[in-house]
Structure 1
Amino acid sequence: MRSNAVTSVSDFKSILVGITEEGTDRASSALAYGLSLAQAAGAHITVQAAALKVSVPRSALGPFASELAGSENRRVREAAVAVLERARGEADASGLTCSVETLQLPLADLLDAFVGQARVHDITVLETTPEPMEIGRDIIENVVTRGGRPVLAVPPGFTTFRAERIVIAWDGSERATRAVAFALPLLKAAKDVEILCIKGEKDLAHAIPGAELAPNLARHGVKVSVNDISVRDGDAAETLRGQAGLFRADMVVMGAFVHSRLQQWVLGGFTRALIERSPVPLFLAH
């Protein structure tokens, strides 16, 4: 990174890392990536391990079902506590200040707790998942749409923070504008930034073109270029994935498109498709 990298990244003073603990042995990429980001920024890190509380309605199974639910709740909670102890140890070894908390609640309460913490941290780091029923997906969706702060959605396997080459998915929208503003510390620290405009994905006739965003970023010291490309085979998400690979991007900055469904804000198809299968971490804002 350029010489201003530490100064820019250190604008993030408080980082929240969310882990969804299901009692498996799989390591969390969000935890490793979040610790790496906190070390680069010299930030305080808060690690929350979320475990879904299992409850059973009264049924003919009676005490047997309750005993099974209680046993599962204990198993998952113990696994969450063990993960947090490891996180605290890794943070201490890296010279970071770290707070840890285990949450075991029904889903609605769990989501509210994550959203509340996201609102009082500069950025939240969460792990992406391709599984549509994973609670991790619900947490990402709620923190992005309700948290009011940016989210770094990290695919499995990414364990080290790196943001030397960044693609901005630009459509001139308010959400894309907000994502760029939140990501400015990272953009200033990057070696190369590409503003990517995908033509044909939507009507951009009245949108501010990427060529007009570029001078603003350049005034902040961002090394920026603009690339206008056509959507390929009608699939904007796949087009963005392909271009991120060609650019050798470390990260994609984008606004999270949402729409209303039954009085709730849910992620749109383009954003959801990228979260389910992204080649690099996504910096998201709504």
Structure 2
Amino acid sequence: MTHSRIAYMPLITYPEAIADDATRAAVALARPLGYALSVTTFAVDFPRVSSGLGDLLIDIPGLVQSTEEKSRAECRRLEQLVLESAASPADVHCTARKVPWGAVPGDAAEQARYFDLALLPWAADTAPVGDMAEAVVFGSGRPAVLVPPSARPAPVDHLAIAWDGSRVAARALGDVLPLLAEGGSISVLTVRDEKPLGGSDLAGALASSLAKRGLNAKPVETTLGNRTIAEALQDTALSNGAQLLAMGGFGHSRIRDFVLGGATRGILSQLRLPVLLSH
């Protein structure tokens, strides 16, 4: 590998794999961001149990074996998809792990700790993807970028940071700055009516601080109106030309709902740009 920075990408195979277009988009984004890529595909492992007399009617061991074989075959297929989608296959390393059913998200979070950030292909209609995002964002200690299928493989010339002056927002800022291309610009986003803020010009204060470090930054204030926090931040980021949005894991009162829960999938079904989450 020629890069010193490595991104980690975990890929599930059971009960279903994420859509191929989301995986392709995430793989293709690694090189423009300046990262080599380490991909792990997870083959599911089920415990061997017998249902007694039920085995006479339903071949439980056979069903378990068939499911595991299908999962292993999906690992091989995903590895080929990753290599075909990479701009430079030499920058990609693929491994497969056999992990007990239900333990995949936690195992992925542990593996992610050994890398610089995680790239997570995103699809709101695939429930295990939300479980994976929760585990990696809140359990790895590393930043994670949710990548929708619509993401384009290009350097980040303009990023947006959701800013409320909190510790986690500062953490997100530190995590996202290495992704900004040389000479790129930053929009500092503040949502005025989402929750009480600790100052009247937080966005302006951060933009001024970034400018002193030679960065091109501008403050941008917005309001929720009838929108969710996810919609307001994405709308504002996109309208200002940002290619990536960054935010702290608990920087907004409803940030966990941005990633998790019943309302989550409805909100993120409209994810329109890569989002870096840092906890």
> Structures share a fold, TM > 0.5?
yes
TM-score (norm 2): 0.83
Q: Does residue 41 of structure 2 align to residue 49 of structure 1?
A: yes
Residue in 1 aligned with 2:90?
96
Deviation at 1:206, TM superposition (A): 5.2
For the structure 1 residues 122 and 16, does the alpha-carbon distance in structure 2 shift closer, same or farther, using more than 3 Å as the test? same
Residue in 1 aligned with 2:82?
87
Between Structure 1 and Structure 2, how many residues are aligned? 268
The correspondence for 2:13, drawn from 21, 38, 41, is 21
Residue in 1 aligned with 2:140?
147
SS in 2 for 1:61: helix
- Does structure 1 conserve the Cα–Cα contact (< 8 Å) formed by 2:244 and 2:275? yes
Residue in 1 aligned with 2:117?
123
Deviations 1:93-143 (A, max 9, x none): 716333211123234432232112211100110012213x62221111111
Q: Does residue 73 of structure 2 align to residue 78 of structure 1?
A: yes
Residue in 2 aligned with 1:5?
none
TM-score (norm 1): 0.81
Q: What CA distance in whole angstroms lies between the structure 1 residues aligned with 2:199 and 2:251?
A: 20
For the structure 1 residues 101 and 61, does the alpha-carbon distance in structure 2 shift closer, same or farther, using more than 3 Å as the test? farther
- Does structure 2 conserve the Cα–Cα contact (< 8 Å) formed by 1:16 and 1:47? yes
Residue in 2 aligned with 1:262?
none
Q: What CA distance in whole angstroms lies between the structure 2 residues aligned with 1:267 and 1:233?
A: 17
Consecutive unaligned residues of structure 1, counting only runs of 5 or more, are: 1-9, 260-265
Q: What CA distance in whole angstroms lies between the structure 1 residues aligned with 2:85 and 2:190?
A: 40
Deviation at 1:190, TM superposition (A): 5.8
Q: What CA distance in whole angstroms lies between the structure 1 residues aligned with 2:119 and 2:227?
A: 30
Query: Displaced runs of 4+ in structure 1, greater than 6 A?
Result: none
- Does structure 2 conserve the Cα–Cα contact (< 8 Å) formed by 1:169 and 1:176? yes
For the structure 1 residues 72 and 33, does the alpha-carbon distance in structure 2 shift closer, same or farther, using more than 3 Å as the test? same
Q: What CA distance in whole angstroms lies between the structure 1 residues aligned with 2:193 and 2:3?
A: 36
Q: What CA distance in whole angstroms lies between the structure 2 residues aligned with 1:180 and 1:202?
A: 20
The correspondence for 1:282, drawn from 268, 272, 275, is 275
- Does structure 2 conserve the Cα–Cα contact (< 8 Å) formed by 1:237 and 1:270? yes
The share of aligned pairs that are identical, in percent, is 23
- Does structure 2 conserve the Cα–Cα contact (< 8 Å) formed by 1:171 and 1:209? yes
For the structure 1 residues 224 and 11, does the alpha-carbon distance in structure 2 shift closer, same or farther, using more than 3 Å as the test? farther
Equivalent AA in structure 2 for residue 224 of structure 1: A
Deviation at 1:54, TM superposition (A): 4.5
Deviations 1:129-174 (A, max 9, x none): 213x622211111111111111011012325144122111111111
Deviation at 1:84, TM superposition (A): 1.2
- Does structure 2 conserve the Cα–Cα contact (< 8 Å) formed by 1:198 and 1:228? yes
Cα RMSD of the aligned pairs, angstroms, is: 3.0
